[in-house]
Structure 1
Amino acid sequence: MKTALIIRHVPREGVAGYRAPIEAAGYQVDRIDVCDPDFSRADLVAPDLVIMMGGPMGVYEQAQHPWIACQMRRLARRLAADRPTLGVCFGAQMIAAALGSRVYPGGTREIGFHPVTVHDPDSPLRHVVDVPVLHWHGDTFDLPAGTQLLASSAAYPHQAFRRGRNLLALQFHGEMDEDPRFEQWLEQGPHDIAAAGHTPCTLRAAHETHGPRAVTAARAMIAEWLTGLA
């Protein structure tokens, strides 16, 4: 059976809704947390698929989080080998950095549900066209050389990119739209929520309204990407 390794940077940001299409594609899913004592020894090249999830830290905060540099070195080896890799939010920023691009704080907190502009209607992101998806970030990145920009938002031009068939990086969170851990996001980010002009109540209502459609579209996106892996 094919193997998939989920790298989780904080417990509240797991693979969530993306697990279903990954398992349906025939992968045996394992998970490791960056706080696990074995993480520094984990082989990130061997798994058939690696999925790196989100987190509140920044790629540039390596002094506070020494595991970031360790993960970046091993991620760079995986990307050099063109092994199938999916990055979500912080995971996407890690991919950008490992490919040599700058990751930095953006000008605003992008939090809430809204669609992205999809630039390639033939890409797997065609499934999320006109679908409000969850955004929750304040960092951004320069588009890495040799990659294709797939999506943008009004606040941030770099919402998704790919390299060939085996690399997909997503800034937005299509995976969280039916996950009860969304309540933990609301509890952990009151200042960010307020800075973005929202309240927990408005975000909770948006989650209930848009979540089912968003996660259905995002699962179809991931399923199509997995089908096309080299």
Structure 2
Amino acid sequence: MIAIIKNIKTEGPGSIENYLVENSTPYKIFESEDGDTPSTLEGYSGLIVMGGPMGVYEMDKYPHLKVVSRLIREAINRNLKVLGICLGAQLIAYTLGAKVYKGHGEEIGWHDIELTGDGLRDPVMISLAKHPSVGDVWRKFKVFHWHGDTFDLPIGAVHLAKSSVYENQAFRYKDNVYALQFHIEVTKEMLIEWFEDHPLKEQILTEAEKMLSEYSQRAKNFYKAFWGE
């Protein structure tokens, strides 16, 4: 059973959920914003923590983030598979003792990340970097971003990817914890909802028409490698 923690209702698991359904993997979604979180992760094999517009440094304003951080610590202590997306990645960094803070500007849209040397040696990141049709590994490729916060790399973490805007885009902790600053899970439906009243709506959705088929397959390959299937 996989526990999926949402931090806000509009930021769900997207293609992650699609993958779990396709592979008959049991999961349960929790709405942490409503105080809905598992009391313990006993019996779970993995934890996925989704994104949200709030900052890790705003825990007094959003106390459910404290609960999510405790769950991340429990999952790491139990050696569960842990995946953090955007805010989820920042929460993993925070839980591992790193600083999370406002960045120098927003990174929004389809922009390149570049794998580090360690990223090129990481089989899970290679699965994302490998072109689904051609099969060659791209050190630099486009992913979907929407964030204005960033984080320092936790002690003991392996730096996997960077962008021209923010240095820390992905890291691994031990062999079972992955943190992605970008949104690997986005679907067309999610983008339509997120950008409904946003000035970049037309640009984002036009680019999505070109990007999503390949991107969804890259994501599916990542999930497969992450869960060791």
Q: Same fold (TM over 0.5)?
A: yes
Distance 1:4 1:179, change over 3 A: farther
Hey, what's the Cα distance between the residues in 2 that align with 1:109 and 1:159? 13
Counterpart of 1:103 in structure 2: which amino acid? Answer: V
Corresponding residue number in structure 2 for 1:5: 3
Tell me, yes or no, if structure 1 residue 175 matches structure 2 residue 179: no
Pair 1:185-2:194 in alignment: yes
SS in 2 for 1:184: helix
How far apart, in 2, do the equivalents of 1:225 and 1:170 lie? Answer: 12
Cα gap change, 1:24 to 1:56, in 2 (>3 Å)? same
| Distance change >3 Å, CA 99–CA 106, structure 1 → 2 | same
Distance 2:94 2:189 in 1: 30
Give the Cα separation in 2 of the matches to 1:61 and 1:92.
15
In structure 2, the CA distance between the partners of 1:47 and 1:64, relative to structure 1 (3 Å rule), is same
CA contact (8 A) 1:25 1:223 kept: no
The CA RMSD over aligned residues, in Å, is 1.8
Give the match for residue 154 of structure 1. 164
Choose which of 59, 68, 74 in structure 2 pairs with 1:71: 68
Structure 1 residues 149, 25: CA separation in 2 closer, same or farther (over 3 Å shift)? farther
Per-residue displacement from partner, 1:56-106 (whole Å, max 9, x unpaired)? 110111121111112212322222332211100000000000000000000
AA aligned to 1:151 is A
Separation in 2, partners of 1:125, 1:137: 21
Residue deviations 1:86-131 (CA, integer Å, cap 9, x gap): 1000000000000000000000100010221012223222223343
Match of 1:19 among 6, 13, 17: 17
- Aligned partner of residue 58 in structure 2, secondary structure: coil
**Aligned to 1:27, what secondary structure does the other structure show?**
coil
The equivalent residue for 2:225 is: 224
In structure 2, the partner of 1:82 is 79
Deviation for aligned residue 1:139: 0.4
Q: Which residue of structure 2 lines up, in the alignment, with residue 54 of structure 1?
A: 51
Q: Quick check: 16-25 or 118-127, which moved more?
A: 16-25
Task: Tell me the matched-pair count.
Answer: 216
Query: Contact 1:103 / 1:141 at 8 angstroms: preserved in 2?
Result: yes
Q: TM-score w.r.t. structure 1 length?
A: 0.87
**How many angstroms does 1:37 deviate by?**
4.1
Which residue is equivalent to 2:104?
A: 107
- Structure 1's 118 and 22: CA in aligned 2 closer, same or farther, altered over 3 A? farther
8 Å CA contact 2:89, 2:179 repeated in 1: yes
Tell me the secondary structure at the aligned position of residue 202 of structure 1.
helix
> Aligned AA for 1:187?
E
Deviates more, 1:147-156 or 1:120-129: 120-129
For the residues of structure 2 that align with 1:18 and 1:136, how far apart are their CA atoms?
Answer: 18
Q: TM-score, normalised by structure 2?
A: 0.87
Q: Which amino acid aligns with 1:207?
A: A
Say which SS state the counterpart of residue 211 (structure 1) adopts: helix
Q: What letter matches 1:183 in structure 2?
A: I
**8 A Cα contact 2:113 2:162, kept in partner:** yes
Which runs of 5 or more structure 2 residues have no equivalent in the other structure?
Answer: 130-137
Q: Which amino acid aligns with 1:77?
A: E
Instruction: Give the Cα separation in 2 of the matches to 1:49 and 1:179.
Output: 26
Identity of aligned residues (%): 31
